[in-house]
């Protein structure tokens, strides 16, 4: 009750403290010697914005408003009300780059997710479908390339990286599924697409569906559906990509305040408290689609500078005893505020992971608009681990495919006697809550940066839009083939030594450099 009262007083902002302590717990029940470090990096943006634990909140009834689906993580007015939470006064965060996977080579989705997610593109799960559903590939290579290029043109002003190859599952990304018809998703004929909505772009791994088998103008539809993923609603401007009907013409994300349209919905604006920040005179019933996207992603600024691992603990070759406790930790240097990270451990017949996007044993959910340079990327606390050799790897990836990794090997030996006096060699440290050492070496390291996707590349995916009607078909362009499937697929060009392979995330993108603002 006290926390909610503070929220009503306007104390909720998404300026997260990413180092608060929590009760340590097992990272996995079958590995008693590996403890979660007790930080709040696995909290969702909604939890940090309100200072709450989502497990303490009541259940939420998801609901459709026309072709838009609002779930617990939508931060919509009605879903927040169900949880006894007031609308945020507009989330306060710096604009952050995003990644959009345009999936046109066939995708299978399931309606439920693991790990508490309502939707997660990398897990191929979304409540947009009622049962396991396979969407067929869209068109041929030339048609896919033409659609991709047109969609990329709509988003060209913004720091949004588009790719036709599935990024690694540990990178948060939005997925536009393009393929099939409305009937594939149980929608009535004439529906061009559907989407989850997340007000203010608070969730960055949603899914949208575009149905080229039901409507023409699929690039226009996909632009609208993906914009819904980031909190945009319909407008009454026939030249705006958020106009609710697929009426053809030369559309764009219009830079002016436009009246919210409820022509296909229930007449209730769900993200009004966000729209009002950009159109103050509109009282929440007007929307500037261009400025809202600019506030979410920032202006396009291609990024050729890869992140770097600047510190890692323990050092490669360190030795510990079975009486010791130590916590692998890394620090990075990155020029944007969007990164994906992953820690991996192999040893004692065990594999453990902690990564972003809620796909590992433990999560890094740093959210949006944070400074990755100020985060201690803590893995797990190894407390009296079994004797043996342990291989630890830390990876970091930015929106443009810039990548760095370090792999270290440490040895745990039996402690001498019952006292188990700790010993370290090779620069390692011991003791609970150890800080990163000064070592930056590793037995295996790599870095690099990805470049823009070729405009003639053959894309892949499936999806629909929420517009009705038909439009001109997509043009044709020469394209090559791209492989779409695989959670561990890549979309960034990365050099890597050792046995880790060659990441290939082919990205077209943008990078933020400005503080979120209101008009």
How much is the pLDDT for 23?
65
Domains of the chain: 21-45+303-448 (2.60.40.10), 61-298+454-472 (no CATH)
pLDDT above 70 (res 43): yes
Q: Report the pLDDT value the prediction gives residue 370, as an integer from 0 to 100.
A: 84
395 contacts 447 by C-beta, under 8 angstroms: no
Tell me the C-alpha distance between 190 and 470, whole Å. 8
C-alpha 422/C-alpha 319 separation (Å) is 9
Q: Residue 380 pairs with which residues in a beta bridge?
A: none
- Secondary structure letter of residue 327 according to DSSP: -
144 HSE (CA, 13 A, CB side)? 32
**What is the spatial distance between Cα 76 and Cα 86, in angstroms, rounded to a whole number?**
10
**pLDDT higher than 90, residue 3:** no
C-alpha 221/C-alpha 226 separation (Å) is: 9
* Cα–Cα distances in angstroms (integers) from residue 311 to residues 153, 377, 378, 425, in the given order: 39, 10, 12, 18
Q: Which residue has the higher pLDDT, 453 or 366?
A: 366
Percentage of residues in the chain having pLDDT higher than 70:
75
Strand positions, DSSP E, 348-457:
350-356, 362-364, 377-378, 381-383, 388-398, 403-413, 444-448
Task: Give the pLDDT confidence of 317-373 residue by residue, as tens digits.
Answer: 999 999 999 999 999 999 999 999 999 999 999 999 999 999 999 999 877 778 999
Residue 346 exposed, middle or buried by CB count within 10 Å (0-12, 13-18, 19+): middle
pLDDT at 514 over 60: no
* Neighbour tally for 433: CB within 10 Å: 14
DSSP character string of 159-225: SEEEESSPPPTTS--EEEEE-S-GGGGTPPTTEEEEEE--GGG--SS-EEEE-TTT-S-HHHHHHHH
Let me know: does 315 contact 330? Beta carbons within 8 Å: no
16-20, 57-61, 75-79, 107-111: the lowest-pLDDT one: 16-20
Phi-psi region at 144: left, alpha or beta (left = phi > 0; alpha = psi -120 to 50): alpha
Task: Of 115, 258, 116, 119, give the one whose Cα is nearest residue 194.
Answer: 119
Q: Average pLDDT of 483-494?
A: 36
The greatest distance separating any two alpha carbons of the chain, rounded to the nearest whole angstrom, comes to 80
pLDDT tens by residue, 180-193? 999 999 999 889 99
- The pLDDT confidence band at residue 163, using thresholds 50, 70 and 90, is very high
- Verify cis geometry, omega within 30 degrees of 0, for the bond prior to 475: no
Residue 257 is encoded by which pair of tokens?
A: 């305040």
- Between CA 119 and CA 101 the distance in angstroms is 15
User: For residue 22, what pLDDT band results from cuts at 50, 70 and 90?
Assistant: low
Please say if the pLDDT value at position 10 is more than 80: no
Q: How far apart are CA 484 and CA 148, in angstroms?
A: 14
Q: Which residue has the higher pLDDT, 439 or 275?
A: 275
Say which residue, 68 or 39, is predicted with more confidence.
68
Answer yes or no: is pLDDT of 260 > 80: yes
Determine contact, residues 356/364, Cβ cutoff 8 Å. Answer: yes
Query: Between the ranges 27-36, 50-59, 120-129, 247-256, where is the mean pLDDT highest?
Result: 120-129
Q: Give the contacts of 193 (CB within 8 A, at least 6 positions apart).
A: 67, 208, 209, 210, 211, 215, 221, 222, 224, 225, 463, 464, 465, 466, 467
Tokens representing residue 434 in the block: 């150890």
| Lowest-confidence pick of 101-105, 257-261, 269-273, 514-518 | 514-518
Q: Tell me how far apart the alpha carbons of residues 33 and 384 are, in angstroms, rounded to a whole number.
A: 6
- Which tokens hold the place of 388? 């043996």
User: In the chain, what is the straight-line distance between the N-terminal and C-terminal CA atoms, in Å?
Assistant: 34
**Encoded tokens for 421:** 């006096």
Q: Give the C-alpha separation, 350 to 159, whole Å.
A: 39
Tokens of residue 427, six digits: 């620069």
Residues paired with residue 388 on neighbouring β-strands, in sequence order:
412
The mean predicted confidence, pLDDT, of the chain is 80
What band does 41 get if pLDDT is binned at 50, 70 and 90?
Answer: confident
Using alpha carbons, select from 329, 314, 404, 296 the residue that is nearest to residue 41: 329
> 280 in helix, strand or coil?
helix
pLDDT over 90 for what percent of the chain? 64
Query: Residue 8 — φ and ψ, nearest 5°?
Result: -65, -25
Mean pLDDT of 409-417: 93
pLDDT of residue 466: 40
Classify residue 114 by burial, with Cβ atoms within 10 Å: 0-12, 13-18, 19+. Answer: exposed
């Amino acid at each position: 009750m006290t926390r909610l009262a503070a929220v009503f007083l306007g104390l909720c902002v998404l300026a997260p403290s990413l180092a608060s302590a929590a009760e340590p717990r097992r990272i996995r029940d079958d590995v008693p010697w590996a403890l979660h470090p007790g930080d709040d990096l696995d909290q969702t943006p909604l939890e940090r914005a309100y200072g709450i634990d989502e497990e303490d909140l009541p259940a939420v009834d998801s609901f459709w408003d026309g072709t838009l689906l609002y779930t617990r993580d939508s931060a919509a007015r009605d879903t927040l009300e169900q949880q006894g939470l007031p609308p945020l006064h507009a989330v306060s965060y710096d604009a952050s780059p995003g990644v959009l996977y345009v999936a046109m080579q066939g995708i299978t989705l399931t309606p439920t997710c693991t790990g508490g997610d309502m939707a997660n593109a990398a897990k191929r799960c979304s409540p947009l479908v009622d049962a396991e559903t396979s969407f067929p590939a869209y068109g041929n290579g030339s048609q896919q390339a033409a659609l991709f290029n047109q969609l990329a043109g709509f988003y060209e002003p913004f720091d949004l990286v588009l790719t036709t190859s599935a990024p690694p599952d540990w990178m948060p990304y939005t997925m536009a599924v393009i393929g099939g018809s409305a009937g594939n998703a149980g929608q009535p004929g004439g529906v061009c697409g559907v989407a989850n909505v997340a007000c203010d772009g608070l969730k960055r791994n949603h899914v949208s569906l575009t149905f080229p088998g039901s409507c023409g103008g699929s690039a226009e539809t996909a632009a609208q559906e993906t914009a819904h993923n980031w909190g945009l609603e319909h407008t009454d401007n026939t030249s705006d990509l958020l106009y609710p009907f697929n009426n053809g013409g030369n559309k764009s994300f219009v830079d002016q305040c436009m009246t919210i349209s409820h022509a296909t919905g229930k007449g209730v604006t769900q993200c009004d408290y966000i729209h009002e920040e950009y159109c103050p005179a509109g009282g929440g019933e007007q929307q500037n689609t261009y400025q809202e996207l600019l506030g979410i992603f920032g202006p396009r600024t291609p990024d050729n500078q890869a992140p770097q691992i600047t510190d890692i603990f323990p050092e490669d070759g360190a030795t510990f005893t079975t009486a010791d406790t130590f916590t692998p930790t890394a620090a990075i240097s990155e020029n944007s505020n969007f990164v994906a990270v992953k820690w991996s451990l192999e040893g004692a017949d065990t594999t453990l992971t902690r990564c972003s996007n809620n796909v590992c044993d433990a999560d890094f959910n740093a959210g949006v608009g944070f400074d990755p340079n100020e985060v201690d990327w803590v893995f797990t606390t190894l407390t009296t681990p079994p004797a043996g050799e342990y291989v630890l790897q830390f990876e970091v990836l930015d929106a443009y495919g810039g990548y760095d990794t370090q792999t270290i090997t440490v040895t745990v030996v039996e402690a001498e006697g019952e006292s188990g006096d700790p010993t370290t060699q090779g620069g390692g440290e011991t003791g609970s809550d150890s800080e990163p050492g000064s070592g930056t070496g590793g037995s295996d390291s790599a870095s690099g940066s990805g470049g823009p996707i070729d405009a003639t590349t053959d894309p892949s995916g499936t999806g629909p839009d929420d517009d009705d009607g038909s439009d001109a078909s997509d043009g044709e362009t020469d394209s090559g083939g791209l492989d779409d499937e695989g959670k561990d697929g890549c979309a960034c060009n990365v050099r890597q030594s050792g046995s880790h392979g060659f990441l290939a995330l082919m990205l077209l993108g943008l990078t933020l450099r400005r503080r979120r603002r209101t008009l």
